[in-house]
């Protein structure tokens, strides 16, 4: 059973491109998982056979299939330091996601992706805010990251916009820079009530706008610093927000966002970091990704009672985006 496919895996392991190609031509299944749960593409990537990786991708081998330990071919290439194979897989991932994005835009369900979340209850505790499915909306371990984001977007002073209040960590840090104005958009009624109860409505330089950012765009001005960190939305929603940056960011202004993109898989995270940088570049923004080590703030106990571990990587890449015209 599956003799051709076992031979395909073997040819991929050995880098035998001739054998591999003839197996593909005779109809061997490139989507096959062997008894270890690995695909021919994973074997080729693990051993750094770039030519074989390319041939398998050309034959429609899935670039994003996962092994039982949740690793993709790109992760195997990355772990083993095979740059050429890694580059081919990275390129493939970016192209595939660009196409997916185009399809998503065409099928756009009119941007109501987190309607259920916004109508549901929210549980607040000292170290996290959770939804009713025990998924974390925001967690206290992110505090140093939020402080670093605040520092980046407040570096020009002036008028600051934050989208998504959560635990108010980034907003507390923004206040420490004494901005001229500090606008906060928050869409969840319970988070909004809590903001008011804790005095955010009385701060002199703070303006709170209640609603989804999509619905309140007409109330916005332009800002020296903007931070975007919502919950329950898709990459496509953030991409839609990015289309508004030219109107929202003042000349010389800084934009940043919570970079939790594919935070559960190292290779997919690299794909999305590159993808978002590329898409921002097409809008006229350069993106610097500043590495911040996070391993030390992430003990296993942090995730107790949390259903989805949304971050599993050792380094956080904090994006700092600026108009390309400003940085020239
Ligand atoms: C991850 S939390 C933000 C955490 C925040 N950066 C902090 O430092 O605590 C996301 C917040 O965005 C809000 N939110 C979700 N979708 C939104 C939308 N479309 N517009 C505005 N706020 C939204 C959620 O209710 C939640 O309070």
Closest CA to 153 of 145, 161, 142: 161
Enumerate the β-bridge partners of residue 181. Answer: 159
Over residues 17-70, the pLDDT tens digits come to 999 999 999 999 999 999 999 999 999 999 999 999 999 999 999 999 999 999
- Which tokens hold the place of 259? 């970079």
Beta strands 223-228 and 159-163 are: parallel
Q: Which atom of ligand 1 is nearest to the CA of 212?
A: 20
Query: How big is the chain, counted in residues?
Result: 328
- What's the mean pLDDT in 175-188? 98
Which residue ranges form the domains of the chain, and what is each CATH number? 3-106 (1.25.40.20), 121-327 (3.40.50.150)
Question: From ligand 1's centre to the CA of 142, what distance in Å?
Answer: 14
Of 37-41, 98-102, 117-121, 164-168, which range is least confident?
98-102
Residue with tokens 């921002």: 280
Taken in order 136, 238, 121, 109, the sign of the CA dihedral is negative
Residue 315 vs residues 216, 269, 277: alpha-carbon distances, Å: 34, 11, 17
CB of 73 within 6 A of ligand 1: the answer is no
Instruction: Please indicate whether residue 296 or residue 208 has the higher confidence score (pLDDT).
Output: 208
Confidence of residue 1 (pLDDT cuts 50, 70, 90): very low
Residue nearest ligand 1's atom 13 by CA? 164
CB of 146 within 6 A of ligand 1: the answer is yes
User: CB-based burial of residue 103 (10 Å sphere; 0-12 exposed, 13-18 middle, 19+ buried)?
Assistant: exposed
User: CB-based burial of residue 63 (10 Å sphere; 0-12 exposed, 13-18 middle, 19+ buried)?
Assistant: buried
Over residues 218-273, the pLDDT tens digits come to 999 999 999 999 999 989 999 999 999 999 999 999 999 999 999 999 999 999 99
Confidence of residue 213 (pLDDT cuts 50, 70, 90): very high
Beta strands 159-163 and 136-139 are: unpaired
106-110, 116-120, 227-231 — which one is most confidently predicted on average?
227-231
- ipTM surpasses cut 0.90: yes
- What's the mean pLDDT in 205-209? 98
Q: Which atom of ligand 1 is nearest to the CA of 185?
A: 21
Cite the DSSP H helix spans in 129-234. 143-153, 169-175, 189-197
User: CB-based burial of residue 119 (10 Å sphere; 0-12 exposed, 13-18 middle, 19+ buried)?
Assistant: exposed
The answer to whether 37 and 68 are in contact (CB under 8 A) is yes
The answer to whether 301 and 141 are in contact (CB under 8 A) is no
């Amino acid at each position: 059973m599956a003799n051709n496919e076992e031979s395909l895996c073997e040819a991929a392991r050995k880098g035998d491109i001739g054998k591999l190609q003839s197996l593909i031509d005779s109809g061997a299944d490139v989507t096959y998982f062997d008894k270890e749960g690995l695909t021919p593409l994973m074997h080729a990537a693990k051993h750094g056979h770039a030519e074989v990786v390319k041939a398998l991708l050309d034959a429609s081998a899935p670039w994003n299939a996962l092994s039982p330990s949740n690793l993709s071919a790109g992760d195997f290439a990355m772990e083993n330091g095979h740059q050429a194979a890694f580059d081919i897989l990275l390129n493939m991932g970016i192209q595939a996601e660009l196409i997916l994005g185009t399809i998503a835009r065409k099928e756009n369900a009119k941007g109501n992706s987190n309607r259920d979340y916004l109508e549901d209850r929210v549980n607040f505790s000292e170290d996290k805010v959770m939804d009713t499915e025990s998924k974390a909306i925001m967690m206290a371990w992110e505090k140093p990251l939020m402080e670093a984001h605040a520092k980046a977007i407040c570096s020009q002073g002036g008028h600051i916009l934050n989208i998504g209040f959560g635990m108010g960590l980034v907003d507390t840090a923004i206040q420490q820079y004494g901005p001229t104005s500090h606008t906060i958009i928050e869409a969840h009624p319970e988070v909004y009530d809590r903001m008011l109860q804790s005095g955010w409505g009385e701060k002199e330089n703070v303006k709170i706008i209640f609603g989804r950012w999509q619905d309140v765009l007409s109330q916005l001005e332009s800002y020296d610093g903007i931070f975007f960190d919502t919950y329950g939305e898709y990459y496509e929603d953030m991409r839609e927000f990015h289309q508004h940056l030219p109107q929202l960011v003042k000349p010389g202004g800084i934009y940043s966002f919570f970079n939790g993109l594919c935070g559960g898989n190292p290779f997919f995270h690299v794909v999305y970091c590159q993808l978002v940088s590329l898409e921002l570049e097409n809008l006229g923004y350069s993106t610097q990704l500043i590495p911040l080590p996070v391993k030390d703030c992430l003990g296993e106990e942090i995730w107790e009672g949390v259903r989805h571990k949304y971050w599993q990587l050792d380094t956080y890449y904090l994006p700092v985006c600026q108009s390309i015209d400003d940085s020239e």
